[in-house]
């Protein structure tokens, strides 16, 4: 019974977290959206890493916000959507992180790989 209750709590929490996610290319820059992105980042980083070390949390939040800002400027939505899917959807291995920093990492890796060809 406890495990079933925990399962429902995890599903509820992950769905609440996902519903607050703002796609960088849908971001218009309004104050309201800025507040939503900031709130999402703060809650998501704390969810992933806990609240033990405030200095580390602030550093990670800043990195995530900078990644978000950079992702608002990308040109390839298809690659970005794949990166978001890879990081934000449950892959069956662990609870998803869905940070803009890891999405940016996936995006940059995919973009670079799409330009490379295997050569002898």
DSSP helix/strand/coil, 37: helix
Look at residue 45 and tell me if it is in a domain: yes
The band of 50, judged by pLDDT with boundaries at 50, 70 and 90, is confident
Q: Does residue 54 belong to any structural domain of this protein? A: yes
Check whether 95 has a pLDDT greater than 60.
Answer: no
Does any domain span residue 92?
Answer: yes
- Give this prediction's pTM: 0.78
Do the domain assignments include residue 118? no
Range of the domain at 91: 2-113
Q: Is residue 91 part of a domain?
A: yes
Q: Are 61 and 49 in contact (CB under 8 A)?
A: no
Q: How far is CA 91 from the centre of its chain?
A: 14
Q: Do you know the residue count of the chain? A: 120
Q: Count how many domains the chain has.
A: 1
pLDDT of residue 94: 52
């Amino acid at each position: 019974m406890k495990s079933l209750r925990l399962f429902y709590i995890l599903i509820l929490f992950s769905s609440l977290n996902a519903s607050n996610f703002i796609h960088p290319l849908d971001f218009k820059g309004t104050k309201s959206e800025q507040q939503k992105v900031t709130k999402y980042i703060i809650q998501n980083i704390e969810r992933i890493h806990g609240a033990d070390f405030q200095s580390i949390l602030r550093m990670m939040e800043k990195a995530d916000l900078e990644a978000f800002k950079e992702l608002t400027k990308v040109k390839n939505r298809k690659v970005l959507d794949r990166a978001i899917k890879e990081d934000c959807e449950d892959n069956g291995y662990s609870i998803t992180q869905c940070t803009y920093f890891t999405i940016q990492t996936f995006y940059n890796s995919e973009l670079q790989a799409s330009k490379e060809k295997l050569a002898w």
